Amino acid sequence: MRIPWRQTLMSYTFLAPALILLAVFTFYPLVYGAYLGFTEYTGARFAQGLGPKFTGLDNFRTLAGDPLFHTAIWNSVRYLLVVPVLQLASLAVAVLVNKELPGMTWFRAAYYVPVVTSVSLAAVMFEWVFNREGVLNWVLTSLHLTTPQKAIGWLNSETWAFFAVMLVTFWRGFGYYMVLYLAGLQTIPQELEEAAVLDGANPWQRFWRVTVPLMRPTILLCTLLSTIAALRVLEEVLVLTNGGPLNSTYTALMYVYAKAFQGFDFNYGLASAAGLVVAAVALIISAVNFRLFRTDDVAEGA
């Protein structure tokens, strides 16, 4: 079939704004950013009006020898701990609100509110929760799990700040995954649940034997999404602890951000190289995920 040239011209005219913007702000930065990873582009060069200088693998050698980068990568990997907890909890909550009972729509909406909360607001509110005199310690004291004398300033503790930040990620995320799981639950045939009930399965057995296997595609999709999100965590860290105390919450993207923008000795080249490493890790993890759990399942669920 011949395509009229006017139709082609019209199509490209309509597409032009999107294509130009995507080219300039999405594709060009991908390519140029990757190139920068192999260059020296420091604050000093920048100040003199010099461009990036190609230095091969120098930046990667620097990263390999930088203990801060090792800490950052280790923290990002450690952050993946939040994924299974988040996914199991969201799935359980989805099962809980999937029943048509009075008020259920309101519970669903309320659980979604943290998702539409900005990270800066979360930072303001959770600083009061995590404060030494905050709610968390009050609850723990009320439950006789701790005493006011032994109260912890959660965000200032080298041991606990990491988990405090994770809790905020959990809080902001569970409503989102709950909705995705709800959508998946709606596709489970009613007859299967009923058959399980008639066979005498208790709710616990129904959850593990019927719901979880049938939800596999959605579980895989959500796990993948949340793994990538956890690897790329930056905003929560930035607003809650800025990487501290003593770098205990310093994550990989925090490193990228700090090397690019914090202080006078910034180094776009090194930051870009670190970004490339994080991107590579993310890609590998996605690939492994897709291989481990057959791709067609995910495609079906998505």
Partner 1 sequence: MSAAATARPAARERPRVSWRRPLSLTLRYAVLIAILVFAIFPFVWTLAIALTDKTAGVSIYAFPASLLPRRITLHNFVDVYRTFHLGAYLWNSVSITVMTVIGTLVVSALAAYPLARFRFPGRNVIFSAIVATLVLPSETNFIVNTLTLKNLHLLGTHLGVVIPTVAGAFGIFLMRQAFLSIPSALLEAARLDGASELTILTRIMLPLTRPSLAALGIFTLVTTWNAYFWPMVVLSGAPERVPLSVAVLKLKGQFNYDPFNIAAGSLFMMLPVLIVFLLAQRLFLRGLEGAVK
34 contributes a contact to partner 1 by CB under 8 A? yes
169 contributes a contact to partner 1 by CB under 8 A? no
Q: Which of these segments, 13-21, 64-72, 80-88, 155-163, binds partner 1 (CB under 8 A)?
A: 13-21
193 contributes a contact to partner 1 by CB under 8 A? yes
Give the integer Cα–Cα distance in Å for 57 and 61.
6
CB of 64 to partner 1, least distance (A): 18
- For residue 53, list its beta bridge partners: 40
123 contributes a contact to partner 1 by CB under 8 A? yes
33 contributes a contact to partner 1 by CB under 8 A? yes
54 contributes a contact to partner 1 by CB under 8 A? no
State the number of binding residues for partner 1 (CB under 8 A): 99
Give the integer Cα–Cα distance in Å for 167 and 169.
5
Of 81 and 192, nearer to partner 1 (C-beta) is 192
CB of 65 to partner 1, least distance (A): 21
Site for partner 1 in 135-154 (CB under 8 A): 135, 138
Site for partner 1 in 206-245 (CB under 8 A): 218, 221, 232, 234-235, 238-239
Site for partner 1 in 246-265 (CB under 8 A): 253, 256, 260-261
CB of 100 to partner 1, least distance (A): 5
